[in-house]
Every structure is written in structure tokens, then in C-alpha cells.
Amino acid sequence: MTSSRSSNLSWTPKQNKQFEEALAIYDKDTPDRWHNIARAVGGKSTEEVKRHYEILVKDIMQIESDQVPLPNYRASGSNTRGYGNEQRLLKNLKLQ
């Protein structure tokens, strides 16, 4: 496990969601951005929030540069052609 992955383990799903929401509210031009985000998340220091952001940016860059293989998920309820019920319904959807 990489160090970035292991440091992410201490973040709960709720904290990650709060972090994402706070990033949307406090953009790069916001004074005291990291302090505000840490306060919104709760239980994390300004330094932990900054580090979490750096890890997120690094992960996104790796994904976008195809350094991380995307998982090959098979939808539950897939039929033999690999189409899930939702995919089949969306295929026939006509927008007006």
C-alpha cells in the first residue's frame, strides 16, 4: 500500500464528503481556505487537510495520465451481452 493510500485510511467516508463539499465552497482565492475546510470537516488539522488535497491532486493526475488502470466492473444484473438493466433502458431512451 502506498503512503498516500495509507494516510487516506484515517478519513471516514463522511469526512471525505465534507471535504469535497468544503472544496466546492472554499475555492483557491478564499482567505484561510485550509483553515475553513478543516473546520468544515471536523477532527482534521489544517495540515491534514492540505495533505489530503495534495494526495487527491496526485491521484487525479495519475488517473488522467492512464497510470492507474480503471476497474472493469460488471454491473449486477447484467445479461449475457454485458448490458445491465439500466444500460438497456438508457440505450432506448429518446430525449426531446
Mean pLDDT score of the chain: 81
Residue 85 CA to residue 80 CA, distance in Å, equals: 12
**pLDDT at residue 4 is higher than 80:** no
- Domain 3-64 class, CATH top level: mainly alpha
**pLDDT at residue 9 is higher than 70:** no
Question: Does residue 75 contact residue 84 with C-beta atoms inside 8 Å?
Answer: yes
Average pLDDT over residues 37-55: 97
Q: What is the pLDDT of residues 52-91, one digit of tens each?
A: 999 999 999 998 888 877 778 876 655 555 556 666 666 6
Residue 15 CA to residue 13 CA, distance in Å, equals: 5
Instruction: Break the chain into its structural domains and give their ranges.
Output: 3-64
